[in-house]
Amino acid sequence: MLKEQLQEVEEKIQAACDRAGRQRSEVTLIAVSKTKPIAVLQEAYDIGVRVFGENKVQELTEKYEALPDDIHWHMIGHLQTNKVKYIVDKAELIHSVDSVKLAQVIEKEAEKKNCIASILIEVNVAGEESKFGLKVDEVIPFIEKIASFKHIRVCGLMTIAPFVENPEDNRPIFENLHKLSVDIKNKNIDNVNVSILSMGMTNDYEVAIEEGATMVRVGTGIFGARDYAVKA
């Protein structure tokens, strides 16, 4: 079941890359494994998945300890400042940085662990009240504030698009994030490289790829609908 679903996602990614004239290697598939038990992640690992995304710090750390060490862990959920210390040296990429306070804590904890934390800036492109993330016009001033932090590397941008019936409705969202990344590149800010665009989920990742996504976050498409009662 898992193998067939993963294969279907892979085929759709390839088709979207073909339509956009892009190489498959330009897009990283993040298997969103939140709420899934360790046995299911092991099954995914056994069929070749190496990049997993988690929403909660406790789940990420438990799975990090239990599963093979060649897995690339991504923190894709909202990150509370008091939890940063548990994952700063475990998450290869933190997708959800949206405040100076959070960036300062990541900087401090990364310095303690003697590592450099790679981060994405979360942007609320759609301006939804219920979502975290900076407004589009806040992003460049924010990056300029944190660019000098020695233990943080700004690697790109992330957005969570609205849930829509028709994925085409989110095309302008993805287009705007891509445009913002170009504007940032043109600023040539030291220590800032916005080559990563984390955008697109199960219902709209094909459109996101067509608009320049370099990372797509797919959970339901690979694992099926989540059972939030399952404890990892």
Domain-embedded: residue 229? no
Closest CA to 61 of 49, 51, 70, 73: 73
Q: Can you give the pTM of this predicted structure?
A: 0.95
Model confidence pLDDT, tens digit, residues 54-68: 999 999 999 999 999
Give me the number of domains the chain comprises. 1
Residue 207 near residue 168 (C-beta atoms within 8 A): yes
Domain-embedded: residue 25? yes
Domain-embedded: residue 64? yes
Residue 231 has pLDDT above 60, yes or no: no
Domain-embedded: residue 231? no
The CATH number of residue 35's host domain is 3.20.20.10
The pLDDT value recorded for residue 53 is 98
Compare 226 and 223 and report the one with higher pLDDT: 223
Helices 100-112, 139-146: axis angle to 10 degrees equals 30
Model confidence pLDDT, tens digit, residues 163-216: 999 999 999 999 999 999 999 999 999 989 999 999 999 999 999 999 999 999
Domain-embedded: residue 232? no
Model confidence pLDDT, tens digit, residues 75-125: 999 999 999 999 999 999 999 999 999 999 999 999 999 999 999 999 999
| Helix residue spans in the chain (DSSP H) | 2-20, 38-46, 57-66, 84-87, 100-112, 139-146, 171-187, 205-210, 220-223
- Give every CB contact of residue 173 below 8 A, 6+ residues apart in sequence: 125, 126, 159, 161, 162, 199
Beta bridge partners of 97: 121
Domain-embedded: residue 160? yes
Residue 228 has pLDDT above 70, yes or no: no
Instruction: Determine the structural domain holding residue 55 and report its residue range.
Output: 2-223
Domain-embedded: residue 45? yes
Domain-embedded: residue 67? yes
